[in-house]
Homo-oligomer: A and B are copies of this chain.
Amino acid sequence: MQGTPQPALAINHISVDCVVFCIENDELYVLLVKRDTNELHDMKLPGGMVYKEEILDVAAQRILKDLTGASVDSLRQFRSYSAKGRTNDPRDTHWLSHTLNTDIDSILTVAYFSVVNTKRTINKESSGIWVPLKSIGELAFDHNRILQDGFNHLQRIATVEPSILFEFLPRKFVISQLRAVYSLIYDKEFDVRNFHKQVNQMAWVKPLEERQKNVSHRAARYYKFDKVAYKRFFKFVANW
């Protein structure tokens, strides 16, 4: 298209990689898979090769389910990474040709992210494992970078669409759970009293006539996320 002669065109295999987050007991977890071979005992993001004629979104669902058992509705694409320079580590190329039974030297990957509300989303018998974000060491390929980008993306989305923060929570939750979500996503402490005030101003967080049972401390009130109120409010904002 830009006159001849031109350099060779890229012809790549395509993969997807998924960054899945979960919060339990005031800890932010990321879903990883173990890459266990004779030589390797490390971890990577759940991901794999896209089939010929397969839609990217469908491939992401399939691969996440195959590797971890998790069925996640809301996998959202956030960035693609050129084949070039995705790894300089011979262990990665060796592992690839070993698991795929073929030599593959250039893979463009499309990254997805998602939020789930329980670690039980995954199948315990699978290779999936929840690892606290702050404990994650060196991952395979460029997965540390993809994870970082995915987390930044989650923070940005939360600013426009705070509804995503409620995807971390069960249907009914107490304010301290919501506060943990805000603290972990924005990496910031929130004063208990001020946070309660802020929540009172969120028209989409509705108190229920129900309190915790069988707790040693003062039983806290349950709240729920009100989709209808949220849509009313955020429609208004978007229409500004």
* A11 and B30 alpha carbons, distance in the complex (Å): 29
Out of B4, B85, B110, B186, name the residue touching A239 (CB < 8 Å).
Answer: B186
Per-residue B-contact encoding for A48-60, CB less than 8 Å = 1, 0 else: 1111111110010
Q: Is the CB of A1 within 8 A of B240?
A: no
Interface size class, chain A? 35 or more
Let me know if B51 and A100 touch, CB within 8 A. Answer: no
Q: Do A10 and B51 have beta carbons less than 8 Å apart?
A: yes
CA distance A238 to B6 in the complex (A): 45
Stretch at the interface among A19-27, A75-83, A215-223: A75-83
Q: Check B10–A66 contact: CB distance below 8 A.
A: no
> Are A52 and B160 closer than 8 Å at their CB atoms?
no
A50 touches B9 (CB 8 A): yes
Per the 8 Å Cβ criterion, residues 23-80 of A in contact with B are 48-56, 59, 63, 66-67, 77, 79-80
Chain B residues in 8 Å Cβ range of A239 = 186, 188
Residue contact A110 to B80, C-beta cutoff 8 Å:
yes
A54-B82, A84-B53, A160-B156 given; A11·B9 CB < 8 A? no
Does A7 lie at the interface of the complex (its beta carbon under 8 Å from any beta carbon of B)? yes
**Is the Cβ of A80 less than 8 Å from the Cβ of B82?**
no
Given contacts A2-B63, A2-B66, A240-B186, contact A10 B50 (CB under 8 A): yes
A214 near B: Cβ within 8 Å? no
Q: Which residues of B contact A7 (CB under 8 A)?
A: 51-52, 54
A192 contacts across to B, CB distance below 8 A = none
Contacts of A186 in B (CB 8 A): 239-240
The answer to whether B108 touches A6, judged by C-beta atoms less than 8 angstroms apart, is: no
A8 within 8 A of B: yes
Q: Is the CB of A8 within 8 A of B52?
A: yes
> Which residue in chain B gives the minimum CB-CB distance to A57?
B82
Q: How far is the CA of A100 from the CA of B8 in the complex (A)?
A: 11
5 closest A-B pairs by beta carbon, nearest first, are A7-B51, A8-B52, A80-B80, A56-B82, A10-B50
